[in-house]
Chain A
Amino acid sequence: MEKIYSDNPNKCKLATASQETVNFLMSYSKSLQIIECDNIQFENNLN
């Protein structure tokens, strides 16, 4: 008899980072400024 493989559900789990994390990253990106002086890069975080 034909075996029905489709009965076996896909067990692969999908994950997504929360909106809170995305918002944090956006805020981090907006606050981060790179300033270059005499070939040295400085990171500035303006909150």
Chain B
Amino acid sequence: MELQKDDSVLVKDYINGNEKALEILINRHNQRISSFIYSKVLDRDVTEDIFQDTFIKVIRTLKKGSYSEEGKFLPWVMRIAHNLVIDHFRRNKRMPKFEGSEDFNIFSVIGDDKLNVEKQLIKDQIDSDLNSLIDELPEDQKEVLLMRIYKDMSFKEISENTGVSINTALGRMRYALINLRKIIEKNNIVLTN
């Protein structure tokens, strides 16, 4: 039967380059330290994170040679874990975490204005179909429609730019829309999002 090495011996071994000694130390105290952290934070994932951060500190301190061996390895690690738990709560106090429940999901009332990927794809498809339809219009109607809808120009500006009266511009716009509807109906095109 193998005799269990003391923590202090394992720490010395680790400092001297024996990586296996660290694994033994972690596994030996894993449950105790994790349970201690869990008893404070009551969250498995946070427990894992704090456990990991604790041992990252342990590893760095040992490798830097800043650890003074007084036969108190576990209390020292527990103190680090304890401080990290406090840091965790301080951080959460500054930036409280809200977790939804089964009855209420925060994302049902909070959302951004952006379309989701599917709707964006549909919109892009509709825009492209509409461009093809506009290309089918007579040149004078197409010109007025593009200026009004895409360039957001007033009919007065359109009349000045095209050299026709406002009434003619209005008429061309009207015919452009009528013709677009005709093409859409004729080809059974569905343009909805």
Q: B34 touching A15 by the CB < 8 A rule?
A: yes
A-B contact count (CB 8 A): 60
Q: B35 touching A22 by the CB < 8 A rule?
A: no
B4-46 contacts to A, CB under 8 A, are 19, 22-23, 26-27, 30-31, 33-35, 37-39, 44
Q: Is the CB of B141 closer than 8 A to any CB of chain A?
A: no
**Residues of chain B within 8 A of A18, CB atoms compared:** 48
Contact with B along A13-47 (1 / 0, CB 8 A): 11111100110111011101110000001010000
What count of chain B residues pass the 8 Å CB interface test?
A: 25
**Residues of chain B within 8 A of A34, CB atoms compared:** 63-65
Interface of chain A, helix or strand or loop or mixed? mixed
Q: B31 touching A24 by the CB < 8 A rule?
A: no
B46-86 contacts to A, CB under 8 A, are 47-48, 51-52, 55-56, 59-60, 63-65
Q: B30 touching A17 by the CB < 8 A rule?
A: yes
Query: Across the two chains, which residue of chain A brings its CB closest to B62?
Result: A29
B73-126 contacts to A, CB under 8 A, are none
**Residues of chain B within 8 A of A14, CB atoms compared:** 31, 34-35
Q: B60 touching A43 by the CB < 8 A rule?
A: yes
Q: B52 touching A24 by the CB < 8 A rule?
A: yes
Query: Across the two chains, which residue of chain B brings its CB closest to A22?
Result: B26
CB distance from A36 to the nearest CB of B (A): 9
Q: How far is the CA of A22 from the CA of B51 in the complex (A)?
A: 9
Measuring CB to CB, which residues of chain B are less than 8 angstroms from any residue of chain A? Answer: 19, 22-23, 26-27, 30-31, 33-35, 37-39, 44, 47-48, 51-52, 55-56, 59-60, 63-65
Measuring CB to CB, which residues of chain A are less than 8 angstroms from any residue of chain B? Answer: 12-18, 21-22, 24-26, 28-30, 32-34, 41, 43
Q: 29 A-B residue contacts at CB 8 Å?
A: A13-B38, A13-B39, A14-B31, A15-B35, A15-B38, A15-B47, A16-B31, A17-B33, A17-B34, A17-B47, A17-B48, A17-B51, A21-B48, A21-B51, A22-B23, A22-B26, A22-B30, A24-B52, A25-B22, A25-B52, A25-B55, A26-B22, A26-B23, A26-B26, A29-B19, A29-B63, A32-B59, A34-B65, A43-B60
Q: With contacts A17-B33, A25-B26, A34-B63 known, what are 19 further pairs, Cβ within 8 A? A: A13-B35, A14-B31, A15-B31, A15-B38, A15-B47, A16-B30, A16-B31, A16-B35, A21-B48, A21-B51, A22-B26, A25-B52, A25-B59, A26-B19, A26-B22, A29-B22, A30-B19, A32-B59, A43-B60
